[in-house]
A and B are shown apart, each in its own frame.
Chain A
Amino acid sequence: MMRFYDLDHAATTQIHPKVLAAMMPYLTESYGNPSSMHTLGMQNKKDINTAKKHIASLLNCDFNELIFTGSGTEATNLAIEGYARKHPHKREIITTPIEHAATLNTIRYLETLGYKVHYLEVDAMGYVSLADLKSKINQNTLLVSIIWGNNELGTIQPIEMMTEIIHQHGACFHVDAVQMLAHKPMDLSVLNVDMMSFSGHKIHGPKGIGLLYKKKEIEIEPLIHGGGHEFKYRSGTENIAGIIGFDQALTLLNDQYDDKAKHLTALASAFYHQIRAILPIHLNGPTLNQSRIPGLLSLSFEGISGLKLQFKLNQKQIYVSTGSACHSNEVGVSHVIEAIHAKSPEGVIRISFGTETTLEDIPYLVDAFQTAYDDLKND
Chain B
Amino acid sequence: MPIKKVSIIDATGKVVFKGALSSLKFKKESIQKASIELFNDDNPCIIHESYAVEHLASKAEQLILSLNKKVLLIDEVLIQQLLDIELAKYLNHHLELEVK
Closest chain B residue, CB of each to CB of A329: B46
Q: Is the Cβ of A308 less than 8 Å from the Cβ of B4?
A: no
Q: Is the Cβ of B50 less than 8 Å from the Cβ of A331?
A: yes
Chain A residues within 8 Å of chain B by Cβ, number: 16
The yes or no answer to B5 lying at the interface (CB within 8 A) is yes
The yes or no answer to A339 lying at the interface (CB within 8 A) is no
Interfacial chain B residues near A379, Cβ < 8 Å: 1, 4-5, 19-20
Q: How far is the CA of A353 from the CA of B50 in the complex (A)?
A: 25
Interfacial chain A residues near B54, Cβ < 8 Å: 307-308, 311
Interfacial chain B residues near A324, Cβ < 8 Å: 47
Q: Is the Cβ of B1 less than 8 Å from the Cβ of A331?
A: no
Q: How far is the CA of A378 from the CA of B97 in the complex (A)?
A: 13
Given contacts A308-B54, A311-B54, contact A375 B1 (CB under 8 A): yes
Q: Is the Cβ of A307 less than 8 Å from the Cβ of B100?
A: no
Closest chain A residue, CB of each to CB of B1: A375
User: Size range of the interface on B?
Assistant: 10 to 19
The yes or no answer to B90 lying at the interface (CB within 8 A) is no
Closest chain B residue, CB of each to CB of A325: B47
Q: Is the Cβ of A311 less than 8 Å from the Cβ of B47?
A: no
Given contacts A378-B100, A379-B19, contact A307 B4 (CB under 8 A): no
**A residues 13-30 with Cβ under 8 Å of B?**
none
Task: Give the Cβ gap from A41 to chain B, nearest Cβ, in Å.
Answer: 38
Task: Give the Cβ gap from A342 to chain B, nearest Cβ, in Å.
Answer: 18
Cross-chain contact of A327 among B1, B20, B46 (Cβ < 8 A): B46
The 0/1 profile, CB within 8 Å of A marked 1, for residues 44-60 of chain B is 01110011001100100
The yes or no answer to A131 lying at the interface (CB within 8 A) is no
The yes or no answer to B22 lying at the interface (CB within 8 A) is yes
Q: How far is the CA of A326 from the CA of B5 in the complex (A)?
A: 27
Q: How far is the CA of A315 from the CA of B54 in the complex (A)?
A: 11
Cross-chain contact of B47 among A307, A312, A315, A378 (Cβ < 8 A): A307
The yes or no answer to A330 lying at the interface (CB within 8 A) is yes
Interfacial chain A residues near B58, Cβ < 8 Å: 311, 315
Q: How far is the CA of A331 from the CA of B58 in the complex (A)?
A: 20
Q: Taking chain A's interface residues, is the majority helix, strand, or loop, or is none over half, making it mixed?
A: mixed
Task: Choose among A324, A328, A379 the residue with the greatest number of B CB atoms under 10 Å from its CB.
Answer: A379
Interfacial chain B residues near A328, Cβ < 8 Å: 46
Q: How far is the CA of A311 from the CA of B100 in the complex (A)?
A: 18
Q: Is the Cβ of A331 less than 8 Å from the Cβ of B5?
A: no
Closest chain B residue, CB of each to CB of A308: B54
Interfacial chain B residues near A325, Cβ < 8 Å: 47
Q: How far is the CA of A307 from the CA of B45 in the complex (A)?
A: 14
Interfacial chain B residues near A307, Cβ < 8 Å: 47, 50-51, 54
The 0/1 profile, CB within 8 Å of B marked 1, for residues 320-339 of chain A is 00001111111100000000
**B residues 1-33 with Cβ under 8 Å of A?**
1, 4-5, 19-20, 22
Interfacial chain B residues near A312, Cβ < 8 Å: 1
**B residues 43-99 with Cβ under 8 Å of A?**
45-47, 50-51, 54-55, 58
Interfacial chain B residues near A326, Cβ < 8 Å: 45-47
Q: How far is the CA of A375 from the CA of B100 in the complex (A)?
A: 8
Question: Contact residues of B with A, CB < 8 Å?
Answer: 1, 4-5, 19-20, 22, 45-47, 50-51, 54-55, 58, 100
Question: Contact residues of A with B, CB < 8 Å?
Answer: 307-308, 311-312, 315, 324-331, 375, 378-379
Task: Rank and list the top 4 A-B pairs by shortest CB-CB distance, nearest first.
Answer: A379-B20, A311-B54, A326-B45, A378-B4
Given contacts A307-B50, A331-B47, 17 further A-B contacts (CB under 8 A): A307-B47, A307-B54, A308-B22, A311-B55, A311-B58, A312-B1, A324-B47, A325-B47, A326-B47, A330-B46, A331-B46, A375-B4, A378-B4, A378-B5, A379-B1, A379-B4, A379-B5
11 contacts between A and B (CB under 8 A): A307-B54, A311-B55, A311-B58, A325-B47, A326-B45, A326-B46, A327-B46, A331-B47, A331-B50, A378-B4, A379-B20
